[in-house]
């Protein structure tokens, strides 16, 4: 069976089933569309050759593949061991297959053979937003209208994940490299729901460690492991500031106060000079929209979780003239900035299916100015 027909039969099956069926075996008996054979992925990716590698993230490498019917795919090899058994893993993948929206990267299925676990996605030819935004030449293709379009598309995708999907998904790792762009530069959020595949797996913490500044992470999550939809809102706010300014959230090449984008945006905003933040490479832009986006970015990054808007309000703020945006107070600058080592945001959580309580598990090492803090806390991820 070709993978397109595999896929549609899989979707058909899921669509008609209502609740998720228990995982079937991987011998292709009952879930023909869910599974890709290792052999066919090996052939599609030229045996996972380096030439086919698109990148390497916290979960492992990603390869471009070409199926016999001409369809391009992206294969994410999960190089971490998940404690999940085959059944749980399969059920999570089945759930993720149901999470579909035009602003989300489409998951096509998975491959589980021996120790190998892989996820197969649609291939997005323009790679990720960071490869445009932070590249002097490529950023020229992102005029203001496209940037605004990208922001509103991400809002729609996140609104769907938080409020409309069959199950609420907190992304936990919203950042420019997790926004992929299609051939028309429409944004699609990638890697949603990945944390569900690695519940409570403390032993692989080292694999996730990243060095440097991870300024996207909300302070309450970085420091206390407190997780909510507002964790994503904070990261989204940082990303909006990056899209408007065309620079990374932390840039040590910039002098003093400019190095941290959030602090700098707040300073300019207080001095009523916020438009100085706008990417100087933009020949023309709407001052009204840019000012609105900067205000929105700051609002999303409020230190107090309660003062951050939810995705519903953000959607209204951007789409309705009659919805006025509150003035932001001081954003949550402390706790997320500085040199530290931390996990990527998506890993250390574990949702209890009965209680809906999400725990940030493990001893994520978060060393800011030589202090280690991050522990465990919980929050209701359910609706
Ligand atoms: N479906 C896809 N189509 C095209 N390119 C992709 C696809 N998925 C990933 N990539 C590319 O591969 C790179 C690595 O992706 P990956 O998700 O592994 O790492 P990351 O996003 O940088 O970090 P993280 O593991 O935290 O998500 C991405 O930056 C992107 O450029
Ligand atoms: Mg990614």
SS (H, E, C) the chain: CCHHHHHHHHHHHHHHHCCCCCCCCCCCCCCCCCECCHHHHHHHCCCCCHHHEEEEECCEEEEEEECCCCCEEEEEECCCCCCCCHHHHHHHHHHHHHCCCCCECCEEEEEEECCEEEEEEECCCCCEHHHHHCCCCHHHHCCHHHHHHHHHHHHHHHHHHHHHCCCCCCCCCCCHHHEEECCCCCEEECCCCHHHHCCCCHHHHHHHCEEECCCCCCHHHHHHCCCCHHHHHHHHHHHHHHHHHCCCCECCCCCHHHCEHHHHHHHHHHCCCHHHHCCCCCCCCCHHHHHHHHHHHHHHCECCHHHCCCHHHHHHHHHCCCCCCCCCCCECCCCCCCCEEECCCCCCEEECCCCCEEEECCCCCEEECCEEECCCCEEECCC
Ligand 1 closest atom vs CA 346: 26
Residue found by looking up tokens 């107090």 in the block: 304
Ligand 1 closest atom vs CA 131: 31
> What is the per-residue pLDDT for 226?
87
How is domain 26-122 classified at the CATH fold level?
Phosphorylase Kinase; domain 1 (3.30.200)
- pLDDT tens sequence for the chain (383 residues): 344 334 433 333 333 322 223 333 333 434 456 899 999 999 999 999 999 999 998 888 999 999 999 999 999 999 866 666 788 888 889 999 999 999 999 999 999 988 789 999 999 999 899 999 999 999 999 999 999 999 999 999 999 999 999 999 999 889 999 999 999 999 999 999 887 777 654 433 333 333 234 789 899 888 888 889 999 999 999 999 999 999 999 998 998 889 999 999 999 999 999 999 999 999 999 999 999 999 999 999 999 999 999 999 999 999 988 888 999 999 998 776 443 333 333 333 333 333 333 333 332 332 222 222 222 333 444 45
> What is the per-residue pLDDT for 306?
97
Ligand 1 cavity residues, CB under 6 Å: 54-59, 62, 74, 105, 121, 123-124, 127-128, 173, 177-178, 180, 190-191, 344
Do the domains 26-122 and 129-373 sit in the same CATH topology, yes or no?
no
Q: How far is the CA of 53 from the centre of ligand 2 (A)?
A: 13
Distances (CA, A) of 378 to 193, 243, 347: 18, 31, 14
Distance, CA of 100 to CA of 102 (rounded, Å)? 7
Q: Among 1.10.510.10, 1.10.3720.10, 3.40.630.30, 3.40.470.10, what is the CATH number of 129-373?
A: 1.10.510.10
Q: How far is the CA of 216 from the centre of ligand 1 (A)?
A: 17
In this structure, the residue with its CA closest to atom 12 of ligand 1 is: 55
Distance, CA of 267 to CA of 274 (rounded, Å)? 8
In this structure, the residue with its CA closest to atom 28 of ligand 1 is: 55
Spell out the domain ranges in the chain. Answer: 26-122, 129-373
Distance, CA of 288 to CA of 155 (rounded, Å)? 19
Distance, CA of 307 to CA of 108 (rounded, Å)? 37
> What is the per-residue pLDDT for 81?
65
pLDDT digits (tens, 9 = 90+) for 67-106: 999 999 999 999 866 666 788 888 889 999 999 999 999 9
Distance of CA 207 to the CA centre of its chain: 18
Distance, CA of 76 to CA of 214 (rounded, Å)? 22
Distance, CA of 153 to CA of 163 (rounded, Å)? 15
Structure-block tokens of residue 36: 């890709």
Ligand 1 closest atom vs CA 123: 3
| Ligand (nearest to CA of 177) | 1
Write the burial class of residue 94 (CB in 10 Å: 0-12 exposed, 13-18 middle, 19+ buried). buried
Q: Helix 311-319 to helix 229-245 angle, to the nearest 10 degrees?
A: 40
Structure-block tokens of residue 260: 């941290």
């Amino acid at each position: 069976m070709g993978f397109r027909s595999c896929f549609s039969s899989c979707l058909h099956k899921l669509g008609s089933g209502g609740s998720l069926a228990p995982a079937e075996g991987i011998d292709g008996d009952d879930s023909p569309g869910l599974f890709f054979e290792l052999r066919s992925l090996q052939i599609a990716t030229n045996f996972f050759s380096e030439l086919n590698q698109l990148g390497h993230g916290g979960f492992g490498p990603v390869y471009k593949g070409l199926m016999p019917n001409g369809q391009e795919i992206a294969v994410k090899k999960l190089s971490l061991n998940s404690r999940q058994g085959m059944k749980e893993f399969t059920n999570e993948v089945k759930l993720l297959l149901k999470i579909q929206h035009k602003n989300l990267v489409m998951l096509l299925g998975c491959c589980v053979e021996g120790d190998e676990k892989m996820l197969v996605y649609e291939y997005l030819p323009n790679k990720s937003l960071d490869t445009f935004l932070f590249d002097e030449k490529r950023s020229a293709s992102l005029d203001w209208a496209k940037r605004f379009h990208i922001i509103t598309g991400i809002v729609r995708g996140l609104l769907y994940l938080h409020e409309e999907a069959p199950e609420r998904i907190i992304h936990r790792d919203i950042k420019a490299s997790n926004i992929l762009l299609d051939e028309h530069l429409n944004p699609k959020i990638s890697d949603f729901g990945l944390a569900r595949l690695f519940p409570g797996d403390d032993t692989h913490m080292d694999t996730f460690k990243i060095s440097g500044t991870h300024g996207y992470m909300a302070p309450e999550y970085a420091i206390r492991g407190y997780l909510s939809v507002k964790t994503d809102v904070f990261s989204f706010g940082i990303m909006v500031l990056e899209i408007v300014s065309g620079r990374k959230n932390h840039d040590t090449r910039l002098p003093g106060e400019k190095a941290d984008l959030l602090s700098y945006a707040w300073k300019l905003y207080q001095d009523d000079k916020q438009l100085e933040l706008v990417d100087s490479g933009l020949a023309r832009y709407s001052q009204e929209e840019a000012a609105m986006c900067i205000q929105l970015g700051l609002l999303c990054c409020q230190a107090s979780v309660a003062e951050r808007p939810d995705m519903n309000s953000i959607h209204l703020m951007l789409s309705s003239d009659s919805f006025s945006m509150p003035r932001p107070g001081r954003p949550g600058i402390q706790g997320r900035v500085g040199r530290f080592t931390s996990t990527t945001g998506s890993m250390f959580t574990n949702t209890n299916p009965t209680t809906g309580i999400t725990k940030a598990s493990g001893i994520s090492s978060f060393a800011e100015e030589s202090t280690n803090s991050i522990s465990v806390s919980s929050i209701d991820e359910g609706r």
